[in-house]
Every structure is written in C-alpha cells, then in structure tokens.
Copies of this chain bind each other. A is one copy, B any other.
Amino acid sequence: MKVLSADVLRRLGTEIFMAQGASKEKSEFVAETIVEASLTGHDSHGVRYFVRYSERAGEGFINVKEEPVVVKESAVSALVDGHWTFGQITAMRAMELAVEKAIENVVSAVGAYNCNHIGRVGYYTTWAARQGVVAIMFVNVGNPSVSVYGGLGRVFGTNPLSVSVPSGGENPFLLDYATSMVAAGKVSVARAKHEKIPTHWIRDKDGGVTDDPNDLTEDGWLLPFGEHKGYCLQLLMELMGAVMTGSRSGVEPRGARAPSPNGVFIIAINPDGFVGREVFERRTGKVLHEVRTSEPEPGEMIQIPGDPEWETRENRLKEGIPIPDDTWELIKELAEELAIPVPN
C-alpha cells in the first residue's frame, strides 16, 4: 500500500490534467476535488480518477478546454450547459451561482446539463454550507446500474443526493449518499478483498439473491436502498437531475455518448430569510449535540452525518492517504507515459 500526502497528490493530479491540455487553474481544481474525496475516505471517488478522467479526456468525452455557459438566468435561478468539460468545473460553477443568488435573495435553484461525472457530490454542498448556506444537490447518473423497487435489471444510475447544513462549527452536517444500497465502489472493494457482501446489496443477472460481489460486473445490478422509500428518492433524483435540467436519463439509450453523464440540480437556502443565520447555526449545533450525546445502543456509537468523513480527513491529513497497489500502479504508469516525475 502506497501512502502519500494530500499535497503531493494534489500536485501530481494537477500535472496529470495539465498534461491532457487543461489549464493550470482547472487542473488544480479537479485534482483538489479528487484529493478531498480520498481525504474524506471516499476512495471510490478518489485518486483512481486521475486515471479514469485522463482516459475520458483522451477519448474525447471530457473536453478539457471547454467552459460551462449559463444559458438561462434570473435573479434566483440559472441553467448551465456544461459543454462536456470536467463535471467538477460545471458543478462548481453551478454551486457558486446558487450560493451567490441565495446570499443575495434567500433562495435559489440552478441546474446543469451536458455535464461529465462530477465526483463526490458532498464536496460542493460542504463548500456552500461553509458560506452559511444550506445546499441540496439532486444528481442523476445517466449510466444505469440499479434496479427499481420490485423490478428486474438496470434502470437508473446510483443517483446520489447530498445536503449540507451549516451547524456553527467548521464541519457542517453532511448527508451525501447514493440512493442505491451502496455505491458500486463498495462492491468493487469487497471484490478486490475477496469478501462476501450482504445479500440485500445486489442481485445477480437472473435476479437471484447473492453475496458474491463478482455478480455485479457479470450483468447483475444494485438495489435501491430503504425499500419503497429509497426507491422514491432514486426516482426523484432522476426527475430533478435529468428531466428538469435536460440531461440523459437512465431509461434512454446511451449510444456513443459520454460514459457517465451527471444531471445536476441544486437548491440553496439562506437562513437569513427565516430565523436568521446566527440563530440557525447555534440551534442546529445544539440539536446535533443533543443527538450525539444521547444514549447509544450497547456497542454502538451515535454519529452525525458527516462525522465519519471529518474524522477520516483529520487522520489522513496527518498520516497520508493510503492508495491500493493496483491503483497506484495505474497512476504511476500514466505519469510515466506523460513524462511526469513520479513521487516516492
């Protein structure tokens, strides 16, 4: 297992994306979002994407020189055409617009289409919460991998939802998850470790119950979380992420188009339109404190959404980011190919 510091990985990522023709500013930002995913423990969205995004840039799916363009706008809303640049650039532009408009006018909504994979959704909502704004992000993934409740086969993507709420401290409340039982990356991790998985995560290609993670790549599918209640959210992500913005839906044919497009819809809310920012943050902190210190089940620990991320981040900032050998091999190979010095 290779272990590298966040700084070293940020520089490496920046050089890799610059070598693909992206500007320094863009490359730095995309590398930063990826390293943040690794820091917060979301390795499925972490530095392995140095390689994947490079491939997609090479294949012409990510247009590294393009910029997102606002095609429709009002004082409280915008619709952004991502022009198939890095999804991160488009998502961040959309979130900046949403926060700016919410700070000015209490509430805002911003959609984005023609948008590549945006990475870890919590990056953007956390950024908003740190400006004192509640941010909700509905995302659809145009590449289907999840069945619907009561159905067979792949219909929708992992369609994540993220909501971040400022809570007075440095680290906000952070809801950030796929509406499938688990993200596909968790199944890959079990596969790599030759471990079994719980039987309520996936189905095999015939719809059979299975604990074998290999069944997912062999035409199996993920299940939506939380029975019909999770399924309702999965569908809602599709309607807001894809339909409201004009992005590709999982039920539409992919053709030769982008491998993993994201439709993005953001709502931002400024507490000053309601109880006021100071009262809101103080009382949110108090409610969350009550929960954190309430009585746990024997052997359990009560956590606030976001806690595991912030704890991992602190550890990895100190101890470095562990990178599995096979991932590191691919990154090293890519760096060598691009004549970028490989860090030790």
Contacts and interface: CB of A to CB of B under 8 A. Distances in A.
A302 B153 CA distance: 13
Task: Identify the interface centre among A75, A207, A287: most chain B CB within 10 Å of its CB.
Answer: A287
Contacts of A77: 106-107, 273-274
Contact of A291 (B152, B155, B207, B302): B155
A155 B304 CA distance: 14
Interface in A258-309: 265, 267, 269, 271, 273-275, 279-280, 283-284, 287-288, 290-291, 294-298, 300-305
A152 B105 contact: no
Interface residues of A, number: 73
Nearest to A267: B267
Interface in A95-113: 105-109, 111
B74 A105 contact: yes
B245 A274 contact: yes
A291 to B, nearest CB: 6
Specify the main secondary structure of chain A where it touches its partner: mixed
Contact of A226 (B226, B246, B279): B226
How many copies of this chain?
A: 2
A236 B275 contact: no
Contacts of A298: 207
A304 B150 CA distance: 11
A155 to B, nearest CB: 6
A322 interface: no
Given A75-B105, A226-B225, A273-B74, A283 B243 contact: yes
A267 B236 CA distance: 14
A235 interface: yes
A243 B280 contact: yes
Contacts of A202: none
Contacts of A273: 72, 74, 77, 79, 109
A62 interface: no
A325 to B, nearest CB: 30
Given A72-B274, A76-B76, A244-B269, 11 more contacts: A77-B274, A79-B273, A79-B274, A148-B291, A148-B294, A149-B302, A150-B301, A152-B295, A153-B295, A243-B280, A267-B267
- Give the top 7 A-B pairs by smallest Cβ distance, nearest first: A226-B226, A150-B300, A251-B290, A175-B232, A107-B109, A77-B106, A77-B273
